[in-house]
Amino acid sequence: MASREKSGSLVRGRHILLKALDDDTVDILHDGAILQIGGRIEEIGPYSDLAKKHSGIEVCGSADDVVIPGLVNAHHHIGITPVQLGSEDMPLETWLTHHIRHRDVDPYLDTLYSAFELVASGVTAVQHLGGMKPGPVRSWPENASAIIQAYVDLGMRVSFAFCNRDQHRLVYEDDDVFIASLPEPLRHKTSAFLQRTHFDLEDYETEYLKPMLDRFGGGKQPLVRIWLAPINLERSSDRLLGLTRDWAHKYGIGIHLHLSETPYQKEFSARQYGKTSIQHLDDIGFLGPHLTVGHGTWVCEADLDVIAKHGMCICHNASSNLRLRSGIAPVREFVARGIPVALGIDEAGLNDDRDMLQEMRLVKHLHAQPGIYQKPLGAAQIFQMATEHGAKSIGFGSEIGTLEVGKRADLVSLDYKRIAAPFLDSEIPIVDALIYRAKTEHVSAVMIDGKIVYRNGKFANVDRDHTAQKLSADLNRPLRADEAARAEFSREVFPYVRDFYKDWKLPVPKPFYHLNGR
């Protein structure tokens, strides 16, 4: 046993939150410990018993810690935020066009920037949804690999998917029709801009997906999963969606799809298909347990039954939906139907950073229906969304998300004394204290796959200050010629993108505690 334990440790806690048992209860071990060997949880029990049984093994944590499963950010895109790059919040349909003027950011450094924030708030795993880059498909693995390598170097778990699209690339209309509606001088610029991201659908499998699976799949990188992500229904043809479904089945991987995020997207489906987005996807055989839906803000009541029937997950992005005026998703209705709900911070949270502890608190308060007799979402439900359901939604459900023997040792220690200071009544459950009061400064240590990657404000594998210096140097420079040209194009085309939607009839939202547009 001694030789095996050289690669192991004992994680001690005053309170160890193992897993949610139901909507109201979390299984908690008091004055306990977790034995991990080689990144696998081998034993869980009273600290005194395990310390005696495994004397001499390294002990992490203390009798004043709260230990929880690693949190999961199930929907993430970039590091430097849109605000930092010059785009204030606005509705998604115009916001994305404004993004065109952003300067290029080194993908490796950019990824580390937000990964530092995520880990410091207790996140151990993330669904990273990368963006299409100009150039041939064969060039995409280089960009994707740089992003993944940043997570690997930091020691973080990542499910990576490269978002692709093949239609309606500026507005929810055929590209050629929209280009023809523009003034003559702008038509050529727009056509040339869109041509830079054109690709043949078959090339995606041979030039991108297979090389990425060859490099990172099959256990070559245990912390990495490769997923698929047609960006959203509006910008993905039925053929792209069908191929994506087939690739998912062929390679045994999952799909993350932005869906019904905005009222304009709800209206698009009514115009395009005469039915909801979910109903159309069901008709073409796209739905199934391999799929996680990002947002789902504007689904209707009938959609919920279809989602539940197919065993899909939904990733709720509360901060993003508020910042971009997209609406408030019917999370209470998701939960009532037993649909697993995960949490994502998307491009940035309310503080323009990536703080999962704050995101959990926001979700807790956002979905409280007015009235004395209406039961809000409970702390145990929010805890499960950020852990077990998050892991399931990004393809790591069998490995992480709960603290159980046999699972990987992804866990977070928080300083209970600081959470409770200067006083916390003993009647307040520990999980409620976590949801209501925990902050990033209370995170004392983060372990991923049995390795400490963050402790007492310091990262074990990558120097945060040095990374920030390199990133600052990369960004504080004059615009390159191609960046300046892209920014000018964005300014020219923006008014036409904005005006495209002016006559659209949008659904009128009910009060937020009802289904939007029911």
Give pLDDT tens digits for 339-374: 999 999 999 999 999 999 999 999 999 999 888 988
CATH classification for the domain delimited by 71-393, as one of 3.20.20.450, 3.40.1390.30, 3.20.20.140, 3.40.50.720 = 3.20.20.140
- Per the CB < 8 A criterion, the answer to whether 15 and 411 are in contact is no
Q: What are the tokens at 299?
A: 């689904």
Q: Is 3 exposed, middle or buried (0-12, 13-18, 19+ CB in 10 A)?
A: exposed
Q: How far apart are CA 188 and CA 381, in angstroms?
A: 52
Neighbours of 355 (CB within 10 A): 25
The predicted structure's pLDDT at residue 515: 54
User: What is the average pLDDT across 217-243?
Assistant: 96
- The architecture (CATH level 2) of 2-68+407-459 comes to Roll (2.30)
Nearest to 143 by CA among 155, 153, 154, 131: 131
Partners of 139 in the β-ladder: none
Domain ranges (residues) in the chain: 2-68+407-459, 71-393
Does the global pTM surpass 0.85? Answer: yes
Q: How far apart are CA 264 and CA 298, in angstroms?
A: 10
As given in the structure block, the two tokens for residue 284 are: 């073409």
Q: What is the distance between the alpha carbons of residues 88 and 236, in angstroms, rounded to a whole number?
A: 26
Evaluated on CA atoms 234, 287, 391, 221, the torsion sign reads negative
Rounded Cα distance between 76 and 91, Å, is 18
User: Which tens digit of pLDDT belongs to each residue from 361-413?
Assistant: 999 999 998 889 888 999 999 999 999 999 999 999 999 999 999 999 999 99
Please determine, for residue 512, whether its predicted confidence score (pLDDT) is greater than 70.
no
Question: What single letter denotes the amino acid at residue 306?
Answer: V
User: Average pLDDT, stretch 272-278?
Assistant: 97
| Residue 6 pLDDT greater than 80, yes or no | no
d(CA 239, CA 269): 17
Give tens-digit pLDDT for 295-345.
Answer: 999 999 999 999 999 999 999 999 999 999 999 999 999 999 999 999 999
On the question of pLDDT at 3 being above 60, the answer is no
pLDDT given at position 380? 98
What φ, ψ does residue 315 adopt, rounded to 5°?
A: -100, 115
- 243-273 burial, b at 16+ Cβ within 10 Å, e below that, comes to bbbebbeebebbbbbbbbbbbbbbbbbeeeb
pLDDT tens-digit series, residues 96-128 = 999 999 999 999 999 999 999 999 999 999 999
Burial class (CB in 10 A: 0-12, 13-18, 19+), 308: middle
Q: How far is CA 352 from CA 40, 73, 117, 143, 175, in A?
A: 35, 15, 11, 24, 33
Provide the 10 A C-beta neighbour count for residue 511.
9
Instruction: Assess whether pLDDT exceeds 60 at residue 5.
Output: no
pLDDT tens digits for range 486-503? 999 999 999 999 999 999
Alpha-carbon distance of 173 to 93, in angstroms, equals 12
Three-state DSSP string of 63-115: CCEEEEECEEEEEECCCCCCCCCCCCCCCHHHHHHHHCCCCCCCHHHHHHHHH
Q: What does the block give as tokens for 427?
A: 């009647």
CA distance 305 to 449: 37
Q: What's the confidence (pLDDT) of residue 513?
A: 43
Identify the DSSP state of 378: P
Side-chain half-sphere of 415: how many Cα atoms within 13 Å? 13
CA distance 223 to 331: 30
